[in-house]
Amino acid sequence: MKTFESYLSVDRGFSAGTSYHKRSAVAQFCTYYSGRDVSALVYADVLAYIDYLRGLSCSATTINRHLVALGDYFDYLVGLGACRNNPAQGVRVKKGVEKSRFPLLTYACLERLFADYAGSLQDRVLLSLYVYQGIKSSDLRHLEVGDVDLVKGKIWLRAYGVGTACTAGRELGLVVPQILLFHEWLRVRSGARYLLDVPADLSHLTRPFFRRLARLNSLACNAHVIRRVVLSHWLQSEDLRTVQYKAGHLKVSSTEVYQVGDMTALQEEINHLHPLSR
């Protein structure tokens, strides 16, 4: 069977250097989705990977190089008959917006997902924090049992990090569905210091969790995607400074980038760019 390396060099005519960089990008993608059948991945998984690369502070140019390499790889798989279509075809990052041909995840979808999710008690607590407090996965390491005040209906998210990587502390309200959930969970965690049982390698907690979640909604496939939707939702009804505080951003410019995430405006821009997708 023809290898991907052979496909790049012989069929596509790429130089050894270009072939190496493309194979490296694909290897990183396959590592991110280790444990899953890469040939079965869909467009939503490509979007999730874009958010992962953004989380690594990759520039739009770098992300697009990865997307081109993934497009080549899926073309190769299609040629082998290993998959039926190329989910990365034509996907590029431009000014912080993915050119999209499919529906976007909305906040209403997240609320339905939380209501329908029947996973473990810890999974439901975790999902509620992503949906209602818009947390980052890194926040999970710092949550302590004493940070939850059920009487006031509040949760304290601690500050951590240094320099530009610092996340500010903030106190956020709990929504009604969380009160009973946390009441039950705090009984389970009685005597423990930390709110969640977080392993040394955080991905051992979050990656299986999002795989389970993606079975209900493939678009809700990582914390970056959910946080983007949540912050965009907040910005539709709250002022920029309030959302900055709730997001734990030190600079308002960090919050402003989510304004492009207004789902109505974003869908209109997508339809303008891709009229055939309407």
- How far apart are alpha carbons 92 and 225 in whole angstroms? 17
Among residues 216, 214, 236, 241, the alpha carbon closest in space to that of 225 is found at: 214
The CA-atom distances, in angstroms, between 250 and each of 59, 169, 226, 235 are 21, 10, 20, 17
* Whether residues 134 and 115 fall in one domain: yes
Residue 164's pLDDT is what? Answer: 67
* Whether residues 86 and 203 fall in one domain: no
Residue 1's pLDDT is what? Answer: 67
**Structural domain includes residue 265:** no
Among residues 273, 274, 272, 261, the alpha carbon closest in space to that of 104 is found at: 261
Describe the strand order of the beta sheet including 170-173 as a list of residue ranges.
Answer: 148-149, 154-157, 170-173
The CA-atom distances, in angstroms, between 59 and each of 65, 71, 94, 262 are 10, 18, 10, 22
* Whether residues 61 and 174 fall in one domain: no
Last residue of a domain, one of 98, 127, 161: 98
Residue 95's pLDDT is what? Answer: 54
Last residue of a domain, one of 79, 98, 117: 98
Residue 269's pLDDT is what? Answer: 44
Last residue of a domain, one of 47, 77, 98: 98
Cα dihedral sign for 176, 141, 225, 126? negative
* Whether residues 219 and 145 fall in one domain: yes
Among residues 92, 48, 84, the alpha carbon closest in space to that of 67 is found at: 92
The range of the structural domain enclosing residue 53 comes to 4-98
Lookup: tokens for 43:
């467009």
Residue 264's pLDDT is what? Answer: 52
**Structural domain includes residue 272:** no
The DSSP bridge partners found for residue 173 are 154
* Whether residues 145 and 237 fall in one domain: yes
Segment 29-65, tens digit of pLDDT: 999 998 888 988 988 889 888 888 887 878 888 999 9
Residue 130 contacts residue 209 (beta carbons within 8 Å): no
Q: Where are the beta strands (DSSP E) in 68-153?
A: 93-94, 97-98, 148-149
What CATH code is carried by the domain that includes residue 11?
1.10.150.130
* Whether residues 205 and 249 fall in one domain: yes
Residue 97's pLDDT is what? Answer: 45
**Structural domain includes residue 275:** no
**pTM of the full structure:** 0.61
pLDDT in tens, the chain (278 residues): 689 999 999 998 999 999 999 999 999 999 999 888 898 898 888 988 888 888 787 888 899 999 999 999 999 999 999 988 898 988 888 754 444 444 468 899 899 999 999 899 999 999 999 999 999 999 999 999 999 999 999 999 999 988 767 899 999 999 999 999 999 999 999 999 999 999 989 889 999 999 888 888 877 888 888 999 999 999 999 999 999 999 999 999 888 888 754 445 545 544 444 433 33
Buried (b) or exposed (e) across 28-47, using 16+ Cβ within 10 A?
bbeebbeeeebeebbbbbbb
- Please count the other Cβ atoms lying within 10 Å of the Cβ belonging to residue 256: 14
**Structural domain includes residue 128:** yes
* Whether residues 121 and 245 fall in one domain: yes
* Whether residues 52 and 161 fall in one domain: no
**Structural domain includes residue 270:** no
What CATH code is carried by the domain that includes residue 192?
1.10.443.10
* Whether residues 23 and 118 fall in one domain: no
- How far apart are alpha carbons 161 and 236 in whole angstroms? 29
* Whether residues 65 and 134 fall in one domain: no
* Whether residues 119 and 247 fall in one domain: yes
Among residues 85, 83, 87, the alpha carbon closest in space to that of 100 is found at: 87
**Structural domain includes residue 278:** no
**Structural domain includes residue 266:** no
Residue 241's pLDDT is what? Answer: 95
Q: How many domains does the chain have?
A: 2
**Structural domain includes residue 267:** no
Q: Helix axis angle, 16-32 relative to 60-80, nearest 10°?
A: 90
* Whether residues 82 and 157 fall in one domain: no
- How far apart are alpha carbons 192 and 143 in whole angstroms? 11
